[in-house]
């Protein structure tokens, strides 16, 4: 891992994450985009497309750079856990980020950059994160499924704060069926 790859990694993940972020709107509310895109603009959902890109970018980086596998995967999982936790804390802490999409994306970018810097430091300094490989794999699995699961069941009623669907009679029919077709 080189420090010169940091701007490429961050910019690549931000661009790919933004494409996934807008894919729900751009696809005309297609059902496939529910799993990878921001649907309700809750804090958790603003982190979701970038978290999925973070995971996929890790596989690309791993296959291109061929680093020491165990240490790389461990450092990358530490960075993923940090990104998800920090991204959500920043977005929940600054609640206006949900209302202003660009502010929310700025907080996500800050969390992403911080996670990448931490991963670079852990890997280059040889810190033995591989000792925690099994708990990190468990955290990775939980985060991966939570990124998808929380689309349908957001934590803490996050949809009520930031959602364009702010409605007590909220149902998933709203995601799949336009307003005028539902009767």
Inside any domain, residue 140: yes
Burial class (CB in 10 A: 0-12, 13-18, 19+), 81: middle
Radius of gyration of the chain (CA): 17
The number of distinct structural domains making up the chain is: 1
pLDDT at 117: 92
Rounded Cα–Cα distance for residues 137 and 135 (Å): 5
Q: Name the stretches of the chain with pLDDT < 70.
A: 1-4, 95-99, 154-183
> Is residue 179 assigned to a domain?
no
* pLDDT for res 28: 87
Assess if residue 53 is contained within a domain: yes
pLDDT for position 95:
62
Residue 161 lies in a domain: no
CB 72 within 8 A of CB 60: no
Residue 160: what pLDDT?
Answer: 41
Residue 78 falls within a domain, yes or no?
yes
Q: What is the pLDDT of residue 154?
A: 65
Report yes or no on 128 lying in a domain.
Answer: yes
**Position 162 in a domain:** no
In a domain, 150, yes or no: yes
pLDDT at 25: 86
Angle at 82 between CA 154 and CA 95, to 5 degrees: 45
Give the pLDDT of residue 73: 87
Residue 125 sits in which domain range?
5-155
């Amino acid at each position: 891992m080189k420090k010169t790859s940091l701007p490429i990694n961050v910019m690549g993940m931000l661009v790919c994450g933004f494409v996934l972020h807008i894919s729900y709107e751009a696809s005309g509310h297609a059902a496939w985009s529910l799993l990878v895109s921001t649907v309700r603009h809750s804090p958790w959902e603003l982190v979701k497309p970038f978290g999925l890109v973070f995971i996929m970018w890790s596989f690309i980086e791993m296959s291109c750079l061929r680093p020491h596998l165990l240490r790389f995967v461990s450092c990358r999982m530490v960075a993923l856990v940090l990104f998800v936790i920090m991204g959500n804390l920043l977005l929940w802490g600054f609640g206006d980020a949900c209302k202003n999409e660009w502010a929310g994306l700025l907080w996500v970018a800050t969390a992403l950059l911080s996670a990448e810097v931490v991963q670079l430091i852990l890997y280059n300094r040889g810190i033995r994160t591989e000792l925690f490989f099994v708990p990190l794999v468990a955290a990775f699995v939980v985060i991966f499924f939570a990124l998808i699961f929380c689309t349908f069941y957001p934590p803490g009623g996050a949809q009520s704060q930031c959602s364009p669907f702010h409605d007590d009679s909220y149902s998933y029919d709203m995601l799949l069926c336009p307003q005028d077709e539902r009767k």
